[in-house]
Amino acid sequence: MTDRNEAFSPHSTAEYRALDAAHHIHPFSDMGALNRAGSRVIVKADGVYLWDS
């Protein structure tokens, strides 16, 4: 999968992770692990199945 799909999203995965870190609080997350790995960005869904980048 590519990092950016211009037809679907104007932002890259890295840009979404930076926006998430700057503007969203994850109250039930391990913040150390979240800071090291970054948040998951969902790029596709089909029923109950999700794909992340």
Q: How far is CA 5 from CA 13, 25, 31, 33, in A?
A: 10, 26, 29, 27
Q: What is the pTM of this model?
A: 0.62
| pLDDT (tens place) for every residue of the chain, 53 residues total | 455 555 567 888 889 888 888 888 888 888 888 888 888 888 889 999 999 88
Cβ contacts of 5 within 8 Å, gap of 6 or more: 43
